[in-house]
Amino acid sequence: MVLPHHDDLQRFALWLTRDRQVAEDVVQETLLRAWRHLDQLRDAKAAKPWLITTLRRENARRFERRRLDTVDIEDHTVASDSPAPEQRVFHHQIRRSVKQLPRNYREPLTMQAFLDRSIAEVADDLALSKSAVMTRVFRARQQIRQRFEDTLPSAA
């Protein structure tokens, strides 16, 4: 039941944690918790949203248990096959803008844009209506667009 969803869980955990080892730990904890509470899964067709939700909660529990050290991105070297400097700056700005969004906007946008989830899947995962998810994704994109427009020099 879990095997078809393992790659999606791994990608989502990696996106959330930004660390491959931590992501693997979060996925393992998720699968362990899912195994313990398998009786709560009423429909096997809903396994993926159930596992994604469990993973989100397991990741949140990580922060409840202890505070993680942060690392300054400028302290790390970039691989030689990395994108051009302009692209790296742009990608960093987008990620920073997404991280600054309120959680209720950040999660649906992340799941829809970065994990290629449909609006219906995101709605199921977050226990929201499809219209609520569409509204949140739209507003999240508006906020990011506004931040970029505010940083561009005005044409005078």
Classify residue 76: in a domain, yes or no. Answer: no
In whole angstroms, give the CA distance from residue 96 to residue 101: 9
Strand spans (E) along 111-151: none
What number is the average pLDDT over the span 29-57?
84
Classify residue 40: in a domain, yes or no. Answer: yes
> What is the percentage of the chain residues whose pLDDT exceeds 70?
84
In whole angstroms, give the CA distance from residue 101 to residue 104: 8
Classify residue 136: in a domain, yes or no. Answer: yes
pLDDT (0 to 100) of residue 76: 59
Residues 52 and 100 in one domain: no
User: Residue 67 pLDDT > 60, yes or no?
Assistant: no
In whole angstroms, give the CA distance from residue 106 to residue 5: 22
Question: Which of 45-49, 84-88, 121-125 is predicted with the least confidence, judged by mean pLDDT?
Answer: 84-88
Query: Among 42, 68, 94, where does a domain finish?
Result: 68
Residues 5 and 38 in one domain: yes
Identify the three-state secondary structure at position 118.
coil
> How many distinct structural domains can be found in the chain?
2
User: Residue 44 pLDDT > 80, yes or no?
Assistant: no
- Please choose, from the candidates 33, 15, 13, the residue with its C-alpha nearest in 3D space to the C-alpha of residue 23: 13
Residue 138 banded pLDDT, cuts 50, 70, 90 = very high
Comparison of pLDDT for 52 and 93, the residue scoring more:
52
- At 50, which CATH number? 1.10.1740
pLDDT (0 to 100) of residue 92: 80
Identify the three-state secondary structure at position 112.
helix
Residues 87 and 128 in one domain: yes
Q: Which residues contact 78 (CB under 8 A, 6 or more apart)?
A: 88
Whether pTM exceeds 0.85: no
Classify residue 88: in a domain, yes or no. Answer: yes
User: Residue 156 pLDDT > 50, yes or no?
Assistant: no
Comparison of pLDDT for 121 and 71, the residue scoring more:
121
User: Residue 134 pLDDT > 90, yes or no?
Assistant: yes
Residues 17 and 54 in one domain: yes
How many Cα atoms are found within 13 Å in the side-chain-facing hemisphere of 36? 7
Domain that residue 116 falls in: 83-156
Token pair 């226990």: residue: 127
Classify residue 78: in a domain, yes or no. Answer: no
Classify residue 30: in a domain, yes or no. Answer: yes
> What is the percentage of the chain residues whose pLDDT exceeds 90?
26
pLDDT (0 to 100) of residue 5: 84
pLDDT (0 to 100) of residue 155: 47
Residues 37 and 87 in one domain: no
- At 99, which CATH number? 1.10.10.10
